[in-house]
């Protein structure tokens, strides 16, 4: 029983370390994702819709964010 408990703890630790490595992986993609999210937040705070352009830009950013997230997931 003690060996099983130790094995489970070791497995959990290995999984946790692996997840941290994945998050640290692809630093440029993570950086780009952060910038895209910042841009989306800035546009959301902007005044007026600029004849629909602000809204369209937010839609395009949402699509771009989804693509970057998919790319990050694909590489895992």
Tens of pLDDT, residue by residue over 21-30, are 555 589 999 9
Is the pLDDT reported for residue 12 higher than 70?
no
> How many Cα atoms sit within 13 Å of 27 on the Cβ side?
1
Task: Give the pLDDT of residue 65.
Answer: 97
Average pLDDT rounded to a whole number, residues 42-71? 94
Report the alpha-carbon distance of residue 60 to residue 76 in Å, rounded. 25
What tokens appear for 19 in the block?
């997840």
């Amino acid at each position: 029983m003690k060996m099983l408990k130790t094995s489970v703890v070791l497995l959990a630790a290995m999984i946790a370390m692996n997840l941290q490595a994945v998050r640290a992986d692809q630093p440029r993609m993570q950086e780009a994702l952060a910038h895209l999210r910042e841009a989306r937040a800035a546009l959301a705070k902007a005044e007026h819709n600029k004849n629909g352009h602000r809204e369209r830009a937010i839609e395009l950013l949402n699509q771009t964010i989804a693509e970057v997230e998919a790319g990050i997931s694909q590489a895992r």
